[in-house]
């Protein structure tokens, strides 16, 4: 990486910069209500920003979740955004890896994500077949539901991911 990326947990005074990042990264999708609702609540396990020369160039949220019927510490990754001028330079991957390290240290052992397998597969995610997302996905998105086990999970979970209300919006789970 040619740039000097620093990754840290977000702070309340980062909110303006985080809010300007999302419409840039997702011009066709308004994720701000979700991002605001998550950051205003203790459901967030970790919110990380990537900065270059103190400017926020990337952000990711990991939300605390469970699997219905199991005692497990799970998290859902999303959203993840990198400013267009800084994309494809390893920043998104570095933020995700930093989040995974922190979650592992916090005894979170299962991470779920809905996203492009070509991207998340490079970060260790594989297609999830036992734990269902909160809403049924369209057939063409089946491969986009992925997970990663951190550490040593001896009892695999099966069932449905239990997410906080911020994620219980069907539009977040449909094209």
Ligand X SMILES: CC(C)(COP(=O)(O)OP(=O)(O)OC[C@H]1O[C@@H](n2cnc3c(N)ncnc32)[C@H](O)[C@@H]1OP(=O)(O)O)[C@@H](O)C(=O)NCCC(=O)NCCS
- The binding site for ligand X (CB under 6 A) comprises 25-26, 80-82, 87-93, 115-116, 118-119
Q: Which residues pair with 149 in a beta bridge?
A: 110
Residue among 70 and 119 whose Cβ is closer to ligand X? 119
The DSSP call for residue 74 is E
- Considering the complex, what minimum distance in angstroms separates the CB of residue 141 from ligand X? 12
Given the complex with ligand X, which of 44 and 60 has the nearer CB atom? 60
Residue 72 or 143 with smaller CB distance to ligand X:
143
Minimal distance, residue 152 CB to ligand X, in Å: 27
Q: How far is CA 109 from the centre of its chain?
A: 14
- Cβ neighbors of 48 (< 8 A, separation 6 or more) are 7, 8, 9, 10, 59, 60, 62, 95, 98, 99, 102
Q: Least CB distance from residue 77 to ligand X, whole Å?
A: 8
């Amino acid at each position: 990486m040619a740039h000097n990326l620093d990754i840290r947990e977000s702070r309340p005074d980062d909110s303006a910069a985080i809010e300007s990042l999302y419409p840039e990264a997702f011009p066709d999708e308004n994720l701000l209500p979700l991002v605001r609702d998550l950051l205003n609540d203790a459901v967030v396990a970790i919110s990380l920003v990537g900065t270059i020369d103190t400017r926020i160039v990337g952000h990711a949220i990991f939300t605390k979740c469970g699997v219905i019927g199991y005692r497990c510490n799970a998290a859902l990754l999303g959203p993840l955004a990198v400013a267009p001028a800084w994309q494809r330079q390893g920043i998104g991957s570095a933020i995700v890896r930093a989040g995974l390290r922190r979650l592992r240290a916090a005894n979170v052992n299962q991470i779920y994500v809905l996203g492009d397998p070509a991207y998340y597969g490079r970060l260790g995610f594989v297609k999830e077949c036992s734990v269902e997302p909160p809403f049924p996905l369209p057939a063409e998105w089946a491969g986009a539901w992925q997970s990663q086990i951190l550490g040593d999970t001896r009892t695999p979970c099966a069932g449905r991911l239990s997410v906080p209300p911020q994620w219980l919006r069907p539009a977040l789970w449909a094209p």
